[in-house]
Amino acid sequence: MFSYPFDSSSIMLKKRSLKRELLKKEGLIEKRIAILSGTTIGEVKNILELFLLDSGIKPEFFEGEYGRYYEDLVFENTELREFEPDIIYIHTGIHNISNFPVAGSDEQTAKGLFLAEWNRFEEAISSAVAYGCPVVANNFEYPAVRVLGNRENYDVSGKVRFINELNLKLADFARLNEGLFINDINYLSALYGLEKWSDPTYYNSYKYGLNPDAIPLLCHSVSSIIKSIFGRNKKVLLLDLDNTLWGGVIGDDGVDGIELGIENPSGIAYSDLQRYAKELKGIGVLLGVVSKNEEGTAKSGFDHPSAILSADDFSVFIANWEDKASNIKRAAEILNLGSDSFVFADDNPAERELVEHSGLGVAVAKYTVPERFAENISRSGYFEATSMSEEDLIRAEMYSQNAMRESEKSRFSDYGEYLSSLEMKAGVGTFAERKQKRITQLINKTNQFNPTTRRYTEDEISEIEVDENYIKISARLEDKFGDNGIVCALIAKCRDKTATIELFVMSCRVFKRDLEKAVFDKLVETAVSKGIEAIEASYIRTPKNGFVETLYPDLGFLLFDESGEEKKYRYEIEKDYLKKNKHIEVMDE
Amino acid sequence: MNREKIFLTVNEIFREIFDDPELSVTDKTDANDIEDWDSLEQINLLVAMEKKFLIKFSVDDVENLQNVGETVDLIIRKIEEKGDEQL
């Protein structure tokens, strides 16, 4: 229902029953979202709610006054401040431009008007950013009427040119402001068709900034940004091979017989999908293969002279004759990721159907024809890239190193011996500024090793770094196969003689390496230096964090309170505390 | 399509939008009779009808619609106008 291309009318028509169903989902995280109005927002709010629920986010909304986005943001707004938004969305568009030059105006007049206009939007957006939460702002769609015709594009008084300049200015502003994200309605209106998007009936009669039929497209875009900010992006693209990554059947046609490359019209479609997947890998999305084939035969397809992907590009490569649902489960084990972070792309409707109903929570990409597969996947917003950290850019490599570690493991009979053989070194420190982006990303993406599932914004992390009442620890782990980067973070609040762990997260890449012990040692060391005598922690069960159910008892904590899904633990620090970590060399950094 | 058939289809749209499979509207039903029928839902109803009957309401058409009966009459008029254009 909610993956691209979706049926707008059904979503609008059935919004109440859809909401009822979506509210039954487990593991929803609650977020407060303020929508500021340039034009009517009522239905935007209702439909945005559906898309957010579909992404696992349960929104609580604040609705700004109709048309008063500027006043609501720029002037002191107690209501908005007390709402404490997690996200501010500014729904504006071309109807909010009040200073368009009249056709034929001279350059100086046009420039003056442009500056006045830009200053107003910049003031509103900067005021939103000052709330300290991520801000999503629309850019601008093109005008419906062109007085000068094509000359609107380049004349100094042209309104098309005006919009282009405004959008570019906004884009530059977003690059400099990490908390600002552009919702590109200039692209969306082109995709949807400007003539329909700007249908004047809806603005003139109801003050809608766009055709209500396009509201699902708009809301899908906004929710893609929001879910990405809160770490709900998909992480893996699992691909079928025959008639998905190349035309034909490799087992029958052989590497010379498959269709790929620019020589024939259908080959281009498969090259396009390979190119798209290769670029996704470059920004940190993991690629996988699940194919019904012999493994050797399957891999030979990537020896085709026009192949853009190589067999090494895949972090997991499963080719056998078992059913795809079982193979997807195996892929999840190999990558140590939940299958609900997978997107499955397969041309075969029966396979899509099977995976859709497997209960694995895998997103199944819609398929129409080969030449539209890449665009359908890209428009679904699975991999919306709101941040690009260095970690994203080298992730695939780190997962391949993990595969090597797995093969090393089988050589040792004793697990401790294996851990020592890894020659691990941990770099431990607080939340220095250069680390804050990665730490925030780690906190918001981690669901398994996460006893409390608390989320933090980058601003909160930077506040905690300078707050003496908090103990904060981040850890980087390297071993003989390579550097995993920052993979662990802990936040504890000190009060009287007790430190309470509010957050303890670890990337699944380094599970079972005793890093939690090294970080706990560091926590005890820091706590003692602050005169702390006991540490408290809680475990709040979610559908995903069963992995750390016994984390605290295993570290020697005692249970002292239990209510509902929450267990509270306490650890009295011994005078002669013995370090728990024995396999990792720890360095301060 | 006769008035009765159009009326049934319109009733179906009301049921879906207000998520009430039991709902039955009459010519006289107006926004006072259905709790959730506010100005936003009025727009949604009209957009849904435009899509269902492949018609397009103008600003003037929708300005003074009082109840379901008037809306159904408007739909009939729009369908007829469209038919004329095709001839």
The pLDDT tens digits of the residues spanning A14-30 come to 999 999 999 998 889 99
- Please state at what angle helix A215-229 crosses helix A185-192, rounded to 10 degrees: 140
Asked whether the CA dihedral B6, B7, B12, B16 is positive or negative, the reply is positive
Percent over 90 (pLDDT), chain A: 73
Confidence of residue B87 (pLDDT cuts 50, 70, 90): very low
Span(s) in chain A for CATH 3.40.50.1110: 8-229
What amino acid is encoded at A204 in this protein?
Answer: N
The answer to whether the Cβ–Cβ distance between A201 and B18 falls below 8 Å is no
Q: Are A551 and A451 in contact (CB under 8 A)?
A: yes
* Short-list A552, A471, A535, CA closest to A498: A535
The answer to whether the Cβ–Cβ distance between A43 and B51 falls below 8 Å is no
Mean pLDDT across the stretch A412-434?
87
CATH class of the domain whose range is A414-588: alpha beta
The answer to whether the Cβ–Cβ distance between B62 and A204 falls below 8 Å is no
- Please state at what angle helix A42-54 crosses helix A15-22, rounded to 10 degrees: 40
The two beta strands, A424-429 and A470-479, are antiparallel
Q: Are A147 and A160 in contact (CB under 8 A)?
A: no
pLDDT for residue A411 is more than 70: no
The answer to whether the Cβ–Cβ distance between A42 and B59 falls below 8 Å is no
pLDDT for residue A72 is more than 60: yes
d(CA B72, CA B4): 10
What single-letter DSSP state applies at residue A312? G
Span(s) in chain A for CATH 3.40.630.30: 414-588
**Which range of residues forms the domain containing residue B70?**
3-86
| Cα–Cα distance list, B12 to A9, A11, B19 (Å) | 14, 15, 10
**In this structure, what CATH number is given to the domain that contains residue B28?**
1.10.1200.10
Would you say the pTM of this structure is higher than 0.90? no
d(CA A261, CA A274): 10
If you measure CA to CA, which chain A residue comes closest to B21?
A17
A202 chain-B contacts, CB cut-off 8 A: 43
Please enumerate residues of A whose Cβ is less than 8 A from a Cβ of B.
Answer: 9, 12-17, 20, 40, 42-43, 46, 200-202, 204-206, 208, 212-213
Span(s) in chain A for CATH 3.40.50.1000: 236-379
pLDDT of residue A4: 83
d(CA A246, CA A270): 5
d(CA A443, CA A455): 6
User: Could you read off the pLDDT of A267-287 as tens digits, one per residue?
Assistant: 999 999 999 999 999 998 999
d(CA A2, CA A51): 7
Please enumerate residues of B whose Cβ is less than 8 A from a Cβ of A.
Answer: 13, 16-19, 39-40, 43-44, 47-48, 51, 56-59, 62-63
User: Could you read off the pLDDT of A442-471 as tens digits, one per residue?
Assistant: 998 888 899 998 999 999 999 999 999 999
Give the max Cα distance, chain B.
42
Percent over 90 (pLDDT), chain B: 57
Among candidates A12, A20, A200 on the partner chain, residue whose Cβ is nearest the Cβ of B48: A12
Least Cα separation, residue B51 to chain A (angstroms) = 8
Q: Are A168 and A123 in contact (CB under 8 A)?
A: no
For residue A176, count other CB atoms closer than 10 A to its CB.
7
Determine the CATH number of domain A8-229. 3.40.50.1110
Among candidates A14, A15, A212 on the partner chain, residue whose Cβ is nearest the Cβ of B43: A212
pLDDT for residue A304 is more than 90: yes
For residue A65, count other CB atoms closer than 10 A to its CB.
12
What single-letter DSSP state applies at residue A448? S
Count structural domains, chain B. Answer: 1
The answer to whether the Cβ–Cβ distance between A12 and B13 falls below 8 Å is no
CATH class of the domain whose range is A236-379: alpha beta
pLDDT of residue A32: 96
> What's the mean per-residue pLDDT of chain A?
92
Residue A33 region by backbone torsions, left for phi larger than 0, else alpha for psi between -120 and 50, else beta: beta
Least Cα separation, residue B53 to chain A (angstroms) = 13
d(CA A461, CA A571): 25
User: Could you read off the pLDDT of A111-150 as tens digits, one per residue?
Assistant: 999 999 999 999 999 999 999 999 999 999 999 999 999 9
- Where b means 16+ CB within 10 Å and e means fewer, A538-576 reads bbeebebbebbeebbeebebeeeeeeeeebbbbbebeee
**Is the predicted ipTM greater than 0.85, yes or no?**
no
A506: which residues sit within 8 A by CB, 6+ positions away? A446, A449, A487, A488, A515, A516
Kindly state the tokens that stand for A209: 């900034």
Optimal mutation site among B16, B17, B23, B47, interface A, most CBs of chain A within 10 A: B47
